[in-house]
Each structure stands twice: as structure tokens, then as C-alpha cells.
């Protein structure tokens, strides 16, 4: 029997929208020195979020697990072909094309964040600056394709995928539902991000921004820069 069932747990949803926010923010703060501290903060946030998602890909609920959407290239091709047919393939969790976007965005986010960190801390020469910019552009392109895919898939299957990523619910068989929202983990994730931003704006993490802990006046020499 079909009904509204829970598909996306809360940590997965919060992760998704916080990542989208961090990436959009990092993009918008990239062109002016005025926002460079904010840009760096959002880069750290993005890296932290992805680190969480890598763990959640093994520890999360059914549809959040990597094993649930690790499709073979053949399956991905098959799905894309089916989109042009009369009976487009339907998946309750990530469809094969969406799965490609997830893995690509995780990898690109990680590589963009790390190359940005290397650039900002003057490690490995100037080459990483261009690598960082290239990866960020590539990531924006994948985000664009991802959004286009969500729109196309939402129309084809007459289900609002973006709303499902907000509410967690989709139409499906009752026994395919996940049982837990995992609210406590989501709370910890959001609290970690909020706490990090709080410390950042409060100036506790200035050593991460200036790139030199010792030279900063008032720095207590502690280990509060361990993120």
C-alpha cells in the first residue's frame, strides 16, 4: 500500500541544506577581500560537513548509506536511457544519476576545500590557487546539473524531490520507510556548525584566519585551533 513514508533522516537533510548554504556562501564571498574571513569560515564548514557525511554514509539510515546508492556505470546508463522512455526508472532513495551527483559533489567539495586551505596557508606554492578555482567552477557546474536533474526527475515522476529533502517524506510502500529520524544526531550536527560559527564570529578562531597563531595578540597558545 502506498502512503507518505519517511525516506531521508534528519541529519541527511540538514547536511544537504547546510552544504548547499556553505557552498553558495563560499561562492558569493569569493570575489572580494572584504569577505575573505567569511569565505574561509564557510570552507571549513564545508569540509566539516563532508567529513560528517562520509561517516553518515556508513552509519546513517537506509537511504543515506553509500551502499544504497553505489550504482554500476551500466545501471547509471540504463537509468539515463529510461528517462527518455515511456516508463522512466523510479527509485525511492537516490536515483543513479542523483547518486553520481552525490559522490561527485562530496569528492569535489573535499578537493576544493583542501586546495583552498593549502592556498590560504601558502602551502605547496601558487599552483593550488588555480586548482582551487577550477575545482570550485567544476563543482558549480555539477550543482547546476544536479538541480536540473532534480527538476526533470520531479516532473517525470510527479514527485517534488526538493520538498522531500526538506520534509523527509516521499510516496512509497509502507515497509520501505526508515523507522528513525535520528534527531539527536541532527541536533549534534547543527550544534557543531552553529558552535563553530559562534566561536568564529567571537574571534576565538582568529588564528585560523590570520594563518599565524603566535603572532596574534591575545592568543593564549592553547589548542583551540584544532577545529
Partner 1 sequence: MRISVSLFLLAVASTAAFAEAPADFLNAYAQEAKQQNPGYKGPSPQQGQRFFTSLHGHEWSCSSCHTSNPVTAGRHEVTNKVIEPLAPSANAARFTRQAKVDKWFKRNCNDVLGRACSAEEKADVMAYLLSVK
Residues that bind partner 1 (CB under 8 A): 31-37, 40, 111, 115, 125-128, 130-131, 134-135, 206, 209-212, 215-216
Q: How far is the CB of 133 from partner 1 (least distance, A)?
A: 9
Of 110, 116, 81, 117, which is closest to residue 96 (Cα–Cα)?
A: 81
DSSP string covering 58-71? HHS-GGGSGGGG--
Q: Give the separation between CA 34 and CA 31, rounded to whole angstroms.
A: 9
Q: How far is the CB of 207 from partner 1 (least distance, A)?
A: 10
What is the dihedral angle through the alpha carbons of 179, 184, 187, 192, rounded to the nearest 10 degrees?
A: -120
Closer residue to partner 1, CB minimum distance, 74 or 215: 215
- In DSSP terms, 173 is beta-bridged to 2
Q: How far is the CB of 211 from partner 1 (least distance, A)?
A: 5
Closer residue to partner 1, CB minimum distance, 35 or 196: 35
Closer residue to partner 1, CB minimum distance, 31 or 220: 31
Q: How far is the CB of 106 from partner 1 (least distance, A)?
A: 14
Q: How far is the CB of 20 from partner 1 (least distance, A)?
A: 23
Closer residue to partner 1, CB minimum distance, 87 or 221: 221
Closer residue to partner 1, CB minimum distance, 71 or 128: 128
Q: Work out the number of other CB atoms within 10 angstroms of the CB of residue 178.
A: 19
Of 114, 103, 113, which is closest to residue 42 (Cα–Cα)?
A: 113
Amino acid at each position: 500500500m502506498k502512503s507518505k513514508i519517511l525516506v531521508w533522516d534528519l541529519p541527511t537533510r540538514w547536511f544537504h541544506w547546510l552544504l548547499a548554504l556553505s557552498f553558495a556562501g563560499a561562492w558569493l564571498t569569493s570575489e572580494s577581500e572584504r569577505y575573505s574571513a567569511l569565505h574561509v569560515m564557510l570552507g571549513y564548514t564545508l569540509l566539516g560537513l563532508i567529513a560528517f557525511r562520509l561517516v553518515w554514509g556508513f552509519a546513517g539510515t537506509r537511504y543515506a548509506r553509500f551502499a544504497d546508492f553505489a550504482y554500476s556505470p551500466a545501471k547509471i546508463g540504463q537509468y539515463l536511457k529510461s528517462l527518455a522512455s515511456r516508463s522512466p526508472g523510479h527509485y525511492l532513495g537516490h536515483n543513479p544519476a542523483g547518486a553520481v551527483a552525490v559522490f561527485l559533489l562530496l569528492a569535489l567539495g573535499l578537493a576544493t576545500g583542501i586546495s583552498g586551505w593549502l592556498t590560504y596557508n601558502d602551502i605547496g606554492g601558487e599552483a593550488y590557487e588555480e586548482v582551487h578555482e577550477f575545482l570550485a567552477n567544476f563543482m558549480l557546474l555539477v550543482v547546476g546539473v544536479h538541480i536540473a536533474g532534480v527538476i526533470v526527475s520531479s516532473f517525470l515522476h510527479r514527485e517534488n524531490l526538493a520538498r522531500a529533502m526538506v520534509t523527509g517524506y516521499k510516496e512509497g510502500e509502507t515497509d520501505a520507510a526508515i523507522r528513525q529520524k535520528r534527531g539527536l544526531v541532527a541536533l549534534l550536527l547543527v550544534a557543531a556548525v552553529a558552535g563553530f560559527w559562534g566561536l568564529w564570529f567571537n574571534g576565538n578562531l582568529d588564528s585560523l584566519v590570520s594563518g599565524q597563531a603566535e603572532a596574534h595578540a591575545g592568543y593564549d597558545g592553547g589548542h583551540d585551533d584544532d577545529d
